[in-house]
Amino acid sequence: MLGPLALSCLLVLCGISASAQAAETVALQTSFTPEKLGASTTIGFGFTIGSTTGGLPSPLTHVSLHMPKGMNYVTTTLGLAICKPEALVAKGIAGCPANSRLGFGSAFVEVPFGQGAGREIPEIEALMGPPHEGNIVVLFYANGLAPVYAQIVFAGELLPGEGAFGGDLDTAIPQIPSVTNGPPVSIINVKSTIGPEHLTYYKRVHGKLVGYKPQGISLPAKCPKGGFPFSALFTFLDGSQVVAAHNVPCPPPTPHKK
């Protein structure tokens, strides 16, 4: 017999909704590139949402991504410029300075018109937004193509972490309409990065703009036992919630030079 605690632990580990009516499942993936202790890195995170019944999962409304502590979230030079949400809405990514870019990714959504009606949102950009109550704000810009033709801006706020976590990227996900006044699409898969990989920033040197790679979030010099823990709480439109976790394993020790 499983006790209540054991049962809830199993539900969390498997990323299955604890709600009796909900049927969402979530698999979280996280990574560091490069995976070198004490060095600047790019954080990769992604998740895949499924349904135990085989149908479309309920639309996602909120993600709270807990990131490991000991990482240097503040001395990074990512986000030296601020992207204003109104400029992003009006002009798209062209409305924001290059030095506000934090990362990018893509998503795959399904419209509620039957199985197989999936569409990729090939462009998701992460940008530094205006701070909110002193917290770093990450703006996400999703540029959807037909039939999910929508340019959507939403914000995640980097909150102080607790326990094993050093930061919590708290993001409300807007509902993406499948068609005008239609039901929202279901997010199936999201991949994104926060970090300098494939980013170029610019600074003026002797009057000329010079490109350079910004400093990313740095890994600590020591890896915590068991690796770097990530955890995320997913909330769905039907009210159900799912917790998913993933550890980035410790990198192999670097051989000492003689």
Partner 1 sequence: MGHDINSHMEGTMGNQSSRKRRSAHTRISTAALALGAVATAAAFGTAGAGAAGPHATAARTLDLNDSASLHKQNSHGLEVKEAGTAKGTLGGPLYLQLVLHGTRSVTAQVQVYPKGGSISGDANASYHVAGATASFSGTMTITKGSGTYAKAKASALSFSGTIQRSNDAVTVHVSGPISY
Beta bridge partners of 156: 138, 171
The residue count for binding partner 1 (CB under 8 A) is: 29
Segment interacting with partner 1, rule: CB under 8 A, options 19-27, 75-83, 138-146, 170-178: 75-83
Give me the least distance between CB of 161 and partner 1, in Å please: 6
Distance CA 3, CA 5 (A): 5
Residue 72 binds partner 1, judged by CB under 8 A:
yes
Task: Rank residues 72 and 247 by Cβ distance to partner 1 and give the closer one.
Answer: 72
- Sole binder of partner 1 in the list 103, 167, 184, 229 (CB under 8 A): 167
Segment interacting with partner 1, rule: CB under 8 A, options 13-21, 103-111, 127-135, 186-194: 127-135
Segment interacting with partner 1, rule: CB under 8 A, options 17-25, 28-36, 109-117, 156-164: 156-164
Residue 153 binds partner 1, judged by CB under 8 A:
no
- Sole binder of partner 1 in the list 39, 81, 93, 250 (CB under 8 A): 81
Distance CA 244, CA 242 (A): 6
Residue 84 binds partner 1, judged by CB under 8 A:
no
Segment interacting with partner 1, rule: CB under 8 A, options 6-14, 23-31, 191-199, 218-226: 218-226
Give me the least distance between CB of 179 and partner 1, in Å please: 38
Distance CA 178, CA 189 (A): 16
Give me the least distance between CB of 223 and partner 1, in Å please: 13
Residue 254 binds partner 1, judged by CB under 8 A:
no
- Sole binder of partner 1 in the list 90, 203, 213, 226 (CB under 8 A): 203
Give me the least distance between CB of 213 and partner 1, in Å please: 13
Beta bridge partners of 143: 123, 151
Joined tokens for residue 105: 């990714």
Interacting positions 95-124 with partner 1 (CB under 8 A) = 100
Transcribe the chain into DSSP letters.
---HHHHHHHHHHHTB--SSS--EEEEEEEEEES--TTSEEEEEEEEEEEETTSSPPPPEEEEEEEEETTSB-SS--TT-S---HHHHHHHGGGGS-GGGEEEEEEEEEE-SSSTT-EEEEEEEEEEEEEEETTEEEEEEEEE--TTS--EEEEEEEEEEP-TTEEEEEEEEPPP-BSSTT-PBPEEEEEEEEESSTT--EEEEETTEEEEEPPP-EEPPSSPPTT-EEEEEEEEETTS-EEEEEEEEPPPPPPPPP-
Residue 40 binds partner 1, judged by CB under 8 A:
no
- Sole binder of partner 1 in the list 6, 36, 38, 226 (CB under 8 A): 38
Binding site for partner 1 (CB under 8 A): 38, 69, 72-77, 79-82, 100, 128, 130-131, 134-136, 158-161, 166-167, 203, 218, 220-221
